[in-house]
Amino acid sequence: YETFKNTARKFGVDFYYETNVGAGLPIIRTLKDLMMSGDKVARIEAILSGTISYIFNHFKGDVAFHEVVKEAQELGYTEPDPRDDLNGKDFMRKMLILARDAGYAFEESDVSIQNMLPDACLQAPTVEEFYKQLELNADYFTKLKQEAESSKKVLRYIGKLEDGKASITLQMVDENHPFYMLSGSDNIISFTTDRYKARPLVVKGPGAGAEVTAAGVFADIINVGGEKA
């Protein structure tokens, strides 16, 4: 990260990586604009896994957790091994990028992750065995869903950066939380800053999909071309 930044400064250019966080959503650009304009970021809260967002948005009623995960995989929202999405590490890397862009010299170990899966699921030797473990642990996931529904809340896997600390935790949020109303593979991020204190700045939209990601990459290419023009 520092090598890229220093090289860009040395040659008077920038490097673009918008789609590393939130697919085509203008998340990196928004954070950079806030920082460059002199605003101070007090807190960042985010849902940055389109896969997990899709799963929790469809984990309702009588449907089993493993069925939703399988559906997400069949639709192309997960990696060939869904654990690569569900173990929180991909989310952690996105939080790490945001933390660094916010001025923190963070490494991966500086982002704490609450596992949303039982150890037996994470440690399964094959993908097939992973799905078997999801079924065997169905009660665990059902209880989480029922607890959330009984209190009129929804399950959300949320990253937070505040006071020099970064974390990713499984939470239950109610209708008053800005992360309550999501659909599909939505990503959402909330910036609380000196200027956006009473009403945080929110960016929300599809966090997965070839079209929106390609659009984000294309926008970066245009920006590079604009620098050379």
177 contacts: CB under 8 Å, gap ≥ 6: 156
Q: How many other β-carbons are positioned within 10 Å of the β-carbon of residue 88?
A: 24
The pLDDT of 88-111, averaged and rounded, is 96
Contact status, residue 71 vs residue 185, Cβ threshold 8 Å? no
Whole-structure pTM value: 0.92
Given a contact cutoff of 8 angstroms between Cβ atoms, the answer to whether 55 and 144 are in contact is: no
Regarding predicted confidence, which is higher, 171 or 61?
171
Yes or no: is domain 2-228 CATH 3.30.1330.10? no
Both tokens of 166, joined, read 């970064």
Indicate whether 228 pLDDT > 60.
no
Domain boundaries, the chain: 2-228
DSSP state of 168: E
Band of residue 114 on the pLDDT scale cut at 50, 70, 90: very high
Question: Which residues belong to the active site?
Answer: 94
Which pLDDT belongs to residue 227? 60
102: how many CB neighbours lie within 10 A of its CB? 19
Q: Rounded to whole angstroms, how far apart are CA atoms 72 and 51?
A: 7
